[in-house]
Amino acid sequence: MDFCAIIVAAGSGQRAGPGGAKQWRSVGGKPMARWSLEAMLTAGANRVVVVASAGDEATAAAAFAGLGGWFLAEGGATRDRSVAAGLEALAASPGEIVLVHDAARPLVDTRHIHAVVAALSGADGALPALAVADTLKRATADMQVMATVDRTGLWRAQTPQAFRAGVLAAAYAAWPAGEIPTDDAAVVERAGGRIALTAGDPRLMKLTYPEDFAMAELLAGAARTTRIGQGFDAHRFGPGDAVWLCGVMIPHGRGLIGHSDADAGLHALTDALLGAIGEGDIGDHFPPSDPQWKGAPSSVFLSHAAKLIADRGGRIVNADVTLICERPKIKPHREAMRERIAELLGLAVDRVSVKATTTEAMGFTGREEGLAAQAVASVDMPA
């Protein structure tokens, strides 16, 4: 699914109480806006613009440390002006899919994102929504009930909302000056566009008031489970002048024998991720009997495992790889390996560990007949 995204993070959050702008406050152990950016990147956004207030550059850089694929744009005085600034910064082609998401809805995940993108195939816009379940009352300013409102056919609109860039830009251009829309779908509706609804989620609640943060903290940890997977791989040395380990090519007097590039580090890590979600092993997904995988880069295998996790609404928490060999020496290449794995998995580098050890000249690795790797990974998944 090819799409880009705008994350609206320019509000002052005055109703949220003391503690600074709410989009930069911690929820579940990390800045609120980071949840949304991680979700968009994990779901496959090719680029994300975060629309923030002037002066928030350093705050955003700290909040998004270790993440790539995003850039900042300066927001406007109102939400619609911020969205317009995001559209301009994206410079998307008219047919490109653009998602607009409120940073104040941190618990978005891949399922929500892919659902609105898919629904856009038959509509001009798409958004998640929840049917109104509570009885609605209209009241006076002094909290006296005036009437009971019929809730039939009423839905609570959420984000992310999906549109073709050209449709959204044209709708905003036609929006009456001086009026402020409450969401982007309303802008496209007024321009005559057809909006499709997808299944909403209570977890997509918008954090507006102080009490909302307590609920979000509970939701961030509720109905989730941490899974641990482990993997092991070994390859024999053979003719060659370099080896691939953890996505990095290392000059060496011999190569490694394997159907793919024989990267034992990435193979072990791929198996660890597949094991964490009960998806078998690397051979089940990429059989060595299949000629299309001959000489293939092992980054393809690791990215596949990461996508399976993301498609189930999960996220990789950390990865730990141990390489077992006498030679080549790993330490000079360790940081490059960490950076490459972090890039492939969309993780901060401090969530990736690469270590090396020997077997004190014992066994096949000690005799330098080959090398081995083992890996452990933890994954946060819906329960």
pLDDT at 383: 65
Residue-wise pLDDT tens digits, 261-318: 999 999 999 999 999 999 999 999 999 888 888 889 999 999 999 999 988 878 899 9
For residue 6 the two structure tokens come to: 């705008």
Q: Of 21, 175, 193, 22, which is closest to residue 84 (Cα–Cα)?
A: 175
How do strand 224-238 and strand 242-245 relate by DSSP bridges? unpaired
pLDDT at 223: 55
pLDDT at 12: 57
Residue 62 has pLDDT above 60, yes or no: yes
pLDDT at 30: 83
Residue that wins the pLDDT comparison between 192 and 11: 192
* DSSP code string of 260-292: S---HHHHHHHHHHHHHTT---HHHHS-TT-GG
The whole-number average pLDDT for the span 127-135 is 95
Give every CB contact of residue 367 below 8 A, 6+ residues apart in sequence. Answer: 361
For residue 363 the two structure tokens come to: 């066994």
pLDDT at 57: 94
- Return the domain boundaries, the chain: 4-221, 224-382
Give every CB contact of residue 334 below 8 A, 6+ residues apart in sequence. Answer: 354, 355, 356
Residue 19 has pLDDT above 60, yes or no: no
CATH of domain 4-221: 3.90.550.10
For residue 263 the two structure tokens come to: 């990267």
Residue-wise pLDDT tens digits, 92-126: 999 999 999 999 999 999 999 999 999 999 999 99
Q: Of 128, 152, 135, 144, which is closest to residue 206 (Cα–Cα)?
A: 128
Residue-wise pLDDT tens digits, 203-224: 899 998 888 888 887 777 655 7
- Please provide residue 137's backbone torsions phi and psi, each rounded to the nearest 5 degrees: -120, 140
The whole-number average pLDDT for the span 18-28 is 75
**Percentage of residues in the chain having pLDDT higher than 90:** 81
Q: Of 103, 100, 102, 105, which is closest to residue 120 (Cα–Cα)?
A: 100
pLDDT at 13: 52
**Percentage of residues in the chain having pLDDT higher than 70:** 96
Q: How confident is the model at residue 338 (pLDDT cuts 50, 70, 90)?
A: very high
Residue 17 has pLDDT above 80, yes or no: no
Position of tokens 């350093």? 58
Q: Matching CATH topology for 4-221 and 224-382? A: no
Answer for the pair 374, 231: CB distance below 8 angstroms, yes or no.
yes
Residue 201 has pLDDT above 70, yes or no: yes
Q: Which amino acid is at 187?
A: V
Position of tokens 């994990």? 42
Answer for the pair 138, 57: CB distance below 8 angstroms, yes or no.
no
Alpha-carbon distance of 31 to 40, in angstroms, equals: 15
- Please provide residue 364's backbone torsions phi and psi, each rounded to the nearest 5 degrees: -65, -30
pLDDT at 222: 56
Q: Of 278, 281, 285, which is closest to residue 232 (Cα–Cα)?
A: 281
Q: In CATH, what is the architecture of 224-382? A: 2-Layer Sandwich (3.30)
Residue 18 has pLDDT above 50, yes or no: no
pTM of whole model > 0.75? no
**What is the pLDDT of the chain when averaged over all its residues?**
92
Residue 252 has pLDDT above 90, yes or no: yes
